[in-house]
Amino acid sequence: MSFSNKCRETADACRFCWMCRHICPVGNTTGQERNTARARALSLSLVGRGAAELKGDLVQNVYECALCRACTEDCKTGWDPVLFTREARREAVLSGEAPEAVRLLLETYAKTGHIYGAEPKNKAFSDAARRHAAKTDVLFYVGSDARHFAKDKALGAIALLERAKVSFTLLEKEPESGRQLSFLCGDTKETRDAMQAAAALYSGYKTVVFYEPEDARTAKQDAPELGIAAKAKLVTFPAYLETLIGKKLKVKKGTAVYTFQDPAALARALEDVSSARAVLSACGELKEMLLAGKETVLAGDLILDRYLHETVLGMAKRRWDEAVNMGAKTLVTADTAEYLALSATKPKGARVITLEEAIAECL
Amino acid sequence: MTDFLFTQVLTELEDAVGRENCSTRDIDKLTHGVDYFWLSRMWADRGLRMPEADYIVSPKNAQETSAVLKIANYYKIPVTTWGGGGGTQGGAIPVAGGILLDTKRMDAITEFNEKGMYIECGAGTIYKHLEWKANERGYATMHYPSSLTCSTVGGFLAHRGIGVVSTKYGKIDDMVLGMEVVLPDGTIIHTSPAPKHAAGPDLNQIFIGSEGTLGVMTKAQMRIYDMPEERRFRGFLFRNMTDAFDAARELLQKFKPSVMRLYDPAETASLIKKIVGVEREGAFMNVAIEGVSEMVELEQKILLSTFAKYGAEDLGSEYGEKWWKEKITFFYPGHMMDLPQMFGTMDTIAPYGKIEEIYWAMKKAIETNFPQAKFIAHFSHWYEWGAMVYDRFIVDGKDVPTDPKEAMRLHNAIWNCGVRTAIANGGVVNDHHGVGIKLGRLMKEQYGPAMKVFEGLKRELDPNGIMNPFKLGL
């Protein structure tokens, strides 16, 4: 095993500590002791000591984590369980011990450039890409999740940008941001290659607006940590919308009550808990959940959903419970995976909309 | 057990809880083999596998729990119940193998009763989640131990846990109204609809603290409280602990603060200096008063005048507020004792007049017999009649034997010495961490002939002796 010293040190720190158990969306949903940072750390520390092998169900367990960093955020000491989880994934992939489901996703990636396979055709989206094919200062980077599973939502976002008369470029085809390989394999050559290709694209523009927070996190945090930096201003979609509100997008404040589901990447890694709230406050009234902002609870992830579908739905259901308990009726999302999972588990009388849909309601 | 029979039992357990909730996988075995008990941690740190269960099951409710226990009884397979695994006494470790019953899927909130001021929930509910549920409606559970985020309702009940505001709100056994329990033979029972009755002994209290030896708690009605209008802190420095005890005893005849924590000079000079920043000689005491503002104002006056009589220096509110903010930080890796150190908390409880003697006797016994051990203590749960001492021994890593069996020998010898000293001076085996396998051997020394009451209950309820063997001295 070629775990880094930092990885070993972190696993040894976490292996006997349960303090972040309560915040893990996966563990809370499954109720399984193995779905804790400490269980992964303990198993890896035993691997490091020759008392267990990194294969079979031990490897499967390191993939039963959404890398949402709730545990990292919660740790008073500053340990980061994502570190050893990612290194374990890399070791598993490189040693041929990755679970079958992960291997299949990686094979699909090798063939198509996306773990989800070929991008579905959508005439309206292609038309939009043709309308915005010209090179501008601003690239609107849609990302794999919306391109594969929610093109209609991406089209809503594009329509809003058009209404604001923003000049932007939309690509018919995009390279994947590197998030998918980073999630499944950690830091490998292939991951770096993907991030490098994406960074090269971003660098051709003055500003890149990321529709998906996870892609923004990959570009703004993960890639730079590996020495891959884009020469462009990298902006999340909520932050970009905030700059348009009241200027290019004149909204009329209504009586609607919105509750924002903070995407984990946006709130924690990118530390933006204010942009979406500023937007929603301009549109209507904000009603918070008990766990909001940096304490947000992940409610969906499309990669995890490929092999832990029921668990992802369970996570979304639990989030709905929390929202409903606080009297929330309209959840607003800024992440395709969460939009889809929350839509699939929506209780009667409640609704889930995207941030741009909330704005559209008030124009 | 033959492979054939092993598989036969597996299929029956899968039938009871669902195949996805029954595991024989390596990850689940090793995960449930190590709890917060120092010996289990040391064992794993040395690259050794702890005793592991053969089957890990996660029932969703009392009915599924009942089905598991019926199977276990028929085949006479040990059953160890696991909540959060945050226990320090090895109570949840499946030392005899068999079935490990993880309760965390039993986490449903089944009733929120604002008139009766309780929440009914599954015993596998993480206590912090219960707190959030209460907070969502403006209430609080007032059970705030350092393990609040990692441990379950059932886990706290099983070992009679306690939180930092216990002096005002009580221990976990004061916070439960009723429970659903599955007996070892699979019978599902409910304790009385309300506590504090005269319909015989309180069934709740038979199962609270029984550490999974008499059955499995599957549901509980836990009390909630109004959020206090305010919570004020005050730090004090006493010249010595005797003055502090006298002051605290007098104060408790007048009213109950929520937090009272007295640190001996050694802990004041170490942990308190490190975390809270008090760099003074003497015994630091942190007090919190809370509730309705008018009452808090009055209580503060009484607090200041009472403590002034005993020469306490008023350090203001800053230290106490800092302690409150950092109260859980103490327990994160890097802030606490950790391997390769050897350490343990030998908490005990006694009336005033004995508790300080116990502290000095334990300190002397540990430091004399084990000069390699450092002894520090604080007193953090107080009553009108007495208090508990939370005394720790710490042995530096260089003095801990490298041979794990020798390390165990030293560890157990220190515990024997400390707890026997406590018992000899009027203390109890343990105050709020429980007994587990760590202190089981000392239960008979504590109770003498009274132990037969526990043994009789055990024999009657669990004639096959399957429930959490080798724990609680049963």
| Closest residue of chain B to A50, computed from CA coordinates | B47
Residue A169 · residue A140 · CB < 8 Å:
yes
B231: phi then psi, degrees, rounded to nearest 5 = -130, 115
CA distance B133 to A325: 8
The number of domains in chain B is 4
CA distance B68 to B231: 46
The pLDDT of B421-435, averaged and rounded, is 97
Whether B153 and B118 share a structural domain: yes
Question: In the structure encoding, which two tokens stand for residue B418, read together?
Answer: 């400390």
B126 touches chain A (CB under 8 A): yes
Q: Transcribe A224-243 into DSSP letters.
A: HHTT---SSEEEEHHHHHHH
Whether B179 and B251 share a structural domain: no
Which residue has better confidence, B335 or A300?
A300
**Chain A residues touching B82 at Cβ < 8 A:** 33
Whether B383 and B317 share a structural domain: no
CA distance B405 to B46: 11
CATH number, position B79: 3.30.43.10
CATH class, domain A243-361, is: alpha beta
Whether B306 and B363 share a structural domain: no
pLDDT tens-digit profile of B22-45? 999 999 999 999 999 999 999 999
pLDDT band at residue B270 using 50, 70 and 90 as cut-offs: confident
The one-letter amino acid code at B109 reads I
pLDDT band at residue B103 using 50, 70 and 90 as cut-offs: very high
Task: Give bridge partners of residue A157 from the DSSP assignment.
Answer: none
Q: What is the largest CA-CA distance in chain A?
A: 64
pLDDT band at residue B331 using 50, 70 and 90 as cut-offs: confident
Q: Look at residue B473 and tell me if it is in a domain.
A: no
CA angle B259, B260, B265 (to 5 degrees): 140
Residue after which a domain boundary falls, among B69, B102, B135: B102
Residue after which a domain boundary falls, among B296, B331, B366: B331
Q: Which strand (E) or helix (H) includes residue B326?
A: helix B318-326
What count of residues does chain A have?
Answer: 363
Q: Transcribe A85-147 into DSSP letters.
A: HHHHHHHHHHTT-S-HHHHHHHHHHHHHSSTT-SPPP-HHHHHHHHHT-S--SEEEE--HHHH
Question: In the structure encoding, which two tokens stand for residue A232, read together?
Answer: 């462009």
Q: For chain A, what is the mean pLDDT?
A: 97
| Closest residue of chain B to A41, computed from CA coordinates | B31
pLDDT band at residue B274 using 50, 70 and 90 as cut-offs: confident
Instruction: Give the start-to-end residue ranges of the domains of chain A.
Output: 5-98, 123-242, 243-361
Q: Is the pLDDT of residue A1 over 80?
A: no
- Put simply, the answer to whether B136 touches A34 (Cβ < 8 Å) is no
Q: Look at residue B237 and tell me if it is in a domain.
A: yes
User: Could you report how far apart the first and last alpha carbons of chain B are, in Å?
Assistant: 25
Q: What is the largest CA-CA distance in chain B?
A: 74
Task: Give bridge partners of residue B101 from the DSSP assignment.
Answer: B57, B81
Question: In the structure encoding, which two tokens stand for residue B384, read together?
Answer: 């009108």
CA proximity to B123, closest of B84, B166, B174, B77: B84
| Closest residue of chain A to B44, computed from CA coordinates | A46
A39 touches chain B (CB under 8 A): yes
CA proximity to B347, closest of B383, B306, B378: B378
Residue B354 CA to its chain's centroid (Å):
23
Residue B311 CA to its chain's centroid (Å):
34
Residue after which a domain boundary falls, among B76, B102, B128: B102
Q: Is the pLDDT of residue A235 over 90?
A: yes
CA distance A39 to A20: 12
pLDDT band at residue A58 using 50, 70 and 90 as cut-offs: very high
Q: Look at residue B465 and tell me if it is in a domain.
A: no
- Put simply, the answer to whether A57 touches B26 (Cβ < 8 Å) is yes
Whether B379 and B367 share a structural domain: yes
pLDDT tens-digit profile of A271-280? 999 999 999 9
pLDDT at position B319, please? Answer: 87
The one-letter amino acid code at B167 reads T
Question: Is the complex ipTM higher than 0.85?
Answer: yes
Output the CA torsion sign for B84, B90, B93, B94.
negative
Whether B327 and B351 share a structural domain: no
Strand B313-316 and strand B230-238: the pairing is: antiparallel
CATH class, domain A123-242, is: alpha beta
Among the partner residues A19, A52, A77, nearest to B150 by beta-carbon distance: A19
pLDDT at position B277, please? Answer: 75
pLDDT band at residue A48 using 50, 70 and 90 as cut-offs: very high
- Give the CA-trace dihedral at A306, A311, A316, A319, to 10 degrees: -150
- Put simply, the answer to whether B136 touches A326 (Cβ < 8 Å) is yes
CATH number, position B327: 3.30.70.3450
CATH number, position B149: 3.30.465.10
Asked if domains A123-242 and A243-361 share a fold, the reply is yes
- Put simply, the answer to whether B47 touches A50 (Cβ < 8 Å) is yes
pLDDT band at residue B141 using 50, 70 and 90 as cut-offs: very high
B59 touches chain A (CB under 8 A): no
Helices and strands: H and E segment counts in chain B: 17, 19
Q: Look at residue B472 and tell me if it is in a domain.
A: no
Whether B261 and B325 share a structural domain: yes
Q: Look at residue B427 and tell me if it is in a domain.
A: yes
pLDDT at position B330, please? Answer: 81
Q: Is the pLDDT of residue B273 over 80?
A: no
For residue B129, the distance in angstroms to the closest alpha carbon of chain A comes to 7
CA distance B24 to B83: 18
Q: Look at residue B80 and tell me if it is in a domain.
A: yes
Write out the residue range of the structural domain in which residue B167 sits: 109-226
- Put simply, the answer to whether A42 touches B34 (Cβ < 8 Å) is yes
Whether B214 and B238 share a structural domain: no
Whether B74 and B92 share a structural domain: yes
Q: Transcribe B222-265 into DSSP letters.
A: EE-EEPPSEEEEEEEEESSHHHHHHHHHHHHTT---SEEEEE-H
Whether B260 and B318 share a structural domain: yes
CA proximity to B172, closest of B141, B198, B201, B203: B141
For residue A62, the distance in angstroms to the closest alpha carbon of chain B comes to 10
pLDDT tens-digit profile of A197-220? 999 999 999 999 999 999 999 999
CATH number, position B393: 3.30.300.330
Whether B300 and B374 share a structural domain: no
Q: Look at residue B243 and tell me if it is in a domain.
A: yes
Q: Look at residue B42 and tell me if it is in a domain.
A: yes
pLDDT tens-digit profile of A241-251? 999 999 999 99
Question: In the structure encoding, which two tokens stand for residue B137, read together?
Answer: 């409606």
